[in-house]
Amino acid sequence: MSNLNQDVSLEQEIQAADNKNKVWKWLFISSAAFMISWILFPIYLLIVSALSSAEVVNGWPKAFVPEFDMETLQFFMNYYGVLGALKNSLIAAVFTMVISIGLGTPAGYALARFEFRGKETFRMMILLTRAFPMPLLALPLAVIFINVGLDDTLFGLSLVHAALALPFAVLITSSLFLGIPVELEEAAWVLGCNRWQAFMKVVMPLALPGLTASAVFAFVISWNEVFAAAVLTINNQTLTAFLVQSLSSSPAEVKFAGGLILIMPAILFLFVVRKYLFSMWGIANR
């Protein structure tokens, strides 16, 4: 009899635990759904609006499915200066990528592999560079750039963008190298490599996916940056700077088209490298 009672109470307990699990599951799913729509809904609106004709964009009710009217996009692409700005954005982003990976990789390697005086301070300083808001830096930088003749050049702008991207490049690559056991390098040294050969033959292939991801990250940082671009370039405007200035007076549908063009590369790149971004932040399965 008492045995039976125990069974019943056990069952109740299991039931209760089950219910609790269900509540948690429901909470988890709904908050995940909320966060996803937080990100996706504006993007969705942007796409719908960019691919609709002017009447639909300005009219009400809004269409739920875009009518795939390419007119606005076409108009936007042919808008005077857009193509040039697009090219400038690309060039600046590639420069930024090269500079921040070129400088960030050795710095990250040093942080990961060497003990040196002031290492922790150095790590902090890297983060501190992000403590100064761009609006604060942009004007003094503009003055300096004018003095050294870097004003209104894509290279100058890339330097600023690289300064923004470098902290990430350094920290990401350093955690990347930390994740590669030092014994692999040591094994390579013993088997006949010098430091450089071991790096190229063993560390590099293993770090490459992560390095690519952090390169893309640098690219996106530059591509998306507005403020410095708007202040530091006049004739060589990047797409963001161009849009900020020329589109403030344009009709809504053209703004949407511009917005879409702006976010596409970022979304595409992040999509392509998402696996590596996850793995270098230690989220996903390795």
Partner 1 sequence: MTTISIENVKKSFGDAHILKSVSLDIKHQEFTVLLGPSGCGKSTLLRIIAGLETQDTGVIKIGDRTVSHLPPKERNVAMVFQNYAVFPHMTVFENIAFGLRMKKAPEQKIKENVERTATLMHIDHLLHRYSGQLSGGQRQRVAVARALAVEPDVLLMDEPLSNLDALLRLQMRAELKAVLEASKTTTVYVTHDQVEAMSLADRIAVMNAGRIDQYDLPDEIYNNPATEYVGSFIGNPPMNFISPTFQRGDIPEGATQLGIRPEDFDVSTEAREDYWPITILTRERLGSHQQLSAELNGQLFRVNIANEIDVSSGNTLYLKPKDDKKRWYSESGKIIL
Tokens of 48: 């719908």
Q: Does 186 bind partner 1 (CB under 8 A)?
A: yes
* Residue 284 contacts partner 1 per CB under 8 A: no
Task: Note if the bond before 61 is cis, omega within 30 degrees.
Answer: yes
Q: Which of 98, 137, 193, 226 binds partner 1 (CB under 8 A)?
A: 193
Residue 119 interacting with partner 1 (CB under 8 A): no
**How far lies 77's CA from each of 10, 42, 84, 234, 238, in Å?**
68, 22, 10, 20, 14
Segment near partner 1 (CB under 8 A); pick from 6-14, 17-25, 98-106, 183-191: 183-191
Q: Is 197 in the site for partner 1 (CB under 8 A)?
A: yes
Least distance in angstroms from the C-beta of 283 to partner 1: 20
Question: Is 205 near partner 1 (CB under 8 A)?
Answer: yes
Q: Judge contact between 228 and 161, C-beta under 8 A.
A: yes
Contact call for residue 140 and partner 1 (CB under 8 A): no
Residue 204 beta carbon to partner 1: minimum distance, rounded to whole angstroms: 10
Nearest to partner 1 of 187, 284 (CB atom): 187
- Taking the least distance from each CB to partner 1, the nearer of 133 and 205 is 205
Which residue, 103, 100, 99, 119, is CA-closest to 111? Answer: 119
Q: Name the amino acid, one letter, at 33.
A: A
38-46, 49-57, 141-149, 181-189 -> range binding partner 1 (CB under 8 A): 181-189
List 1, 4, 131, 190, residue binding partner 1 (CB under 8 A): 190
CA–CA gap between residue 150 and residue 154 (Å, rounded): 9
What are 119's two structure tokens? 């290492």
Question: Which of 82, 99, 159, 202 contacts partner 1 by CB under 8 A?
Answer: 202
Contact region with partner 1 (CB under 8 A), list: 89-97, 136-144, 200-208, 258-266: 200-208
- For residue 7, the one-letter residue type is D
Toward partner 1, which CB reaches closer, 97 or 188?
188
- 110 burial (CB, 10 Å; 0-12 / 13-18 / 19+) is middle
- Pick the piece of the chain touching partner 1 (CB under 8 A) from 50-58, 157-165, 202-210, 228-236: 202-210
As a whole number of angstroms, the longest Cα–Cα distance in the chain is 94
> Measuring CA to CA, how many Å separate 154 from each of 90, 158, 187, 233?
10, 6, 43, 8
Residues forming contacts to partner 1 in the complex (CB under 8 A) are: 181, 183-184, 186-194, 197, 202, 205-206
